[in-house]
Structure 1
């Protein structure tokens, strides 16, 4: 799944999410089939030992410590799905947290931005909080000639959903509080989960620009919250939409110039690259090639973009 991104942390997260999506359902199907194979042989040979089961099903795999009777007979399929869902939930939350922290440091965003990027916009007094505060701080630095060059291509990313950003973060908050409740189980964590669930219930598929709202199991009011594997997989798509959307929104600001110059220097070296030609179309083609070599989508090469490249000693005629 090829997506268009501007910032390197976004590319890294998208790659990891794609790898995870490719892993999820085949692995779940493999577990399902293993369960029935183990159940079948135990029914035929009820006295079969754990060592014999391991010899039949995992010999040569280098897997150690497996207890197939416990995993495939004692533990229910729904129980295994819950465990699988937990692994994915922790992974998806960690990936988005890492992205927020990476973008905070990479773009020198204001203190607290890595946390603010994890919350919908709200206002306390006259102070804006959440994602809106980060967008405001980023746009205060001005628009970007670089961003204008790449935005026409970036906005074709199918996961770009600027209108839905607040709803996407409302969804994120529910799953993040679910994760916190599963880990901590404290009264405070549960109260935050209940509050986020109330907000999440109000969302429709259109609010998230998704085929369906990622499934959730309402909190019963006692004990550990339950978790839906289908819902968590859907949440992974929401994380990808968040990263895609915020990457593209931040690319439109002057902060994108920092990223572009660093990438250019890393790939093309410190000296300006030769693009001299009397033919403006050939010169623009050369600039597009040099830009794509950075792992970026194809830019729209305007006179302003050319002048910016020359002024920053990235190219010369």
Structure 2
């Protein structure tokens, strides 16, 4: 049996999970490079205080092709490292929010109709709630629609596997979405309110501090949560923003499983396998020996990036009924 079993169902989930890894590799590479150069420049400036800043810049950057200009004095001499860490925090905040929003829209567009996918993409960014008209709001809107026309194959064969992921946080989904909302409100303020603390940020900060104070905490690592003052600049903590990225990764994994039960997911599953078969003729000629035939189909699913089903005989029967094998 192939050992390469994807942890997620939707291709976009695996793509975003990989992208998160790439984002952090680049961020930490940039962090290390800036930290080292910042430290060296400040040390050199201390040793040679009479040198003009242009001479110091030439010392460190001469011969290095630069695509744009740098305010060298501000970046390396006037700015303390704590301020740079705030910039890295904002970088993480923006990238992680954007990745989650993009993932939600892609998955919901694949699953739901043109009239509801935007609503559902927004819904899975909010904890559960009830509106004034007593209608349910938040993530249950999307999850309930996915279950309205659920696929028996997806519920029986794949949901149990997907739910077992160590990243799945279904038991604390509301708490994780509340954490997401706090950081999302901070991101929104940087875009729309010049990065100052709004009343929404104060409210979400209080909610998050309250829920993580419960023992045991719903989070593997609690947030530090620097205090926020209404109308003042938002205070971000770098470790909190790293923890926030983990929260988003858990949300993506959890909703990947919860939404995979939709009938549209079965169609996605079928098309993914058919694409593999049509692009490589070796999958069309299966061995007649039952054991070898099953091994080949296992490899077919692995190559299609399909999670392991609960009962492989049921999966093969479904594939035969669809004329895939």
Q: Secondary structure at the match of 1:269?
A: helix
| Conservation of the 8 A alpha-carbon contact between 2:202 and 2:228 | yes
Q: TM-score, normalised by structure 2?
A: 0.86
Give the aligned partner of residue 288 of structure 2: 277
Give the aligned partner of residue 123 of structure 2: 116
Distance 1:235 1:199 in 2: 15
Distance 1:5 1:62, change over 3 A: farther
The range that moved more, 17-26 or 231-240, is 17-26
Distance 1:188 1:261, change over 3 A: farther
**Deviations 1:10-49 (CA, angstroms, capped at 9, x unpaired):** 1111011111233334432332222221111111222333
Distance 2:293 2:309 in 1: 13
| Conservation of the 8 A alpha-carbon contact between 2:17 and 2:249 | yes
Cα displacement (A) at 1:186: 7.8
Distance 1:44 1:278, change over 3 A: closer
Cα displacement (A) at 1:264: 1.8
Distance 1:190 1:208 in 2: 26
The range that moved more, 232-241 or 186-195, is 186-195
| Conservation of the 8 A alpha-carbon contact between 2:143 and 2:259 | yes
Distance 1:277 1:117 in 2: 46
Distance 1:195 1:127, change over 3 A: same
| Conservation of the 8 A alpha-carbon contact between 2:182 and 2:208 | yes
Distance 1:268 1:186 in 2: 52
**Deviations 1:217-248 (CA, angstroms, capped at 9, x unpaired):** 22112222211111111101111111011102
Q: Of the candidates 166, 170, 182, which is equivalent to residue 158 of structure 1? A: 166
Q: Of the candidates 238, 242, 262, which is equivalent to residue 233 of structure 1? A: 242
Greater than 4 Å deviation, 4+ residue runs: 186-189
Indicate yes or no: 2:141 matched with 1:133. yes
Distance 1:106 1:60, change over 3 A: farther
Distance 1:11 1:99 in 2: 10
Indicate the RMSD between aligned Cα atoms, in angstroms. Answer: 2.6
Q: Secondary structure at the match of 1:243?
A: helix
Gaps of 5+ in 1: none
Give the aligned partner of residue 314 of structure 2: 304
Q: Secondary structure at the match of 2:103?
A: helix
**Deviations 1:73-120 (CA, angstroms, capped at 9, x unpaired):** 111211111111111101111111101111111112534111101000
| Conservation of the 8 A alpha-carbon contact between 2:130 and 2:136 | yes
User: Would you say how many aligned residue pairs link Structure 1 and Structure 2?
Assistant: 312
